[in-house]
Amino acid sequence: MEMTQNPLDKFKHSLEQQGFNSPMLTTLAPHEKLKRHSSSQEIYGVVLDGELELLTNATNTIFTKHDIFFINAGGSFEIHCGSNGAQYLFSFKNSPPKAC
């Protein structure tokens, strides 16, 4: 009998295949704001509950439950939560090894 993977394990495996590390869970309070200055890593995430607005140099986009978002490396960004807060998983892309 073949054992099936649970959805989280499948998600982690998919991220690893694309060069991302294991996802981290974040919970933000209603109307909480996160501000990050330039990052050298790409970020991939999925909203599990609530609503968040992602503000980058180029766009302002609202994401809700089950929406997937991507943040390019090199830019600063802000995340603003809706009135019910938000919970999401996110993962950083592993940096390529440095040449000696």
9-55 confidence digits (pLDDT tens): 887 888 888 888 888 999 999 999 999 887 788 888 999 999 999 99
61-85 confidence digits (pLDDT tens): 999 999 999 988 888 899 999 999 9
What residue type is assigned to position 27 of the chain?
A: T
- Please name the helix (run of DSSP H) or strand (run of DSSP E) that holds residue 85, with its range, or none: strand 77-92
Token digits of residue 5: 């993977």
Q: Indicate if the pLDDT at residue 100 is higher than 80.
A: no
Q: What is the distance between the alpha carbons of residues 46 and 29, in angstroms, rounded to a whole number?
A: 17
**pTM for the full model?**
0.79
Per-residue confidence (pLDDT) for residue 88, from 0 to 100: 93
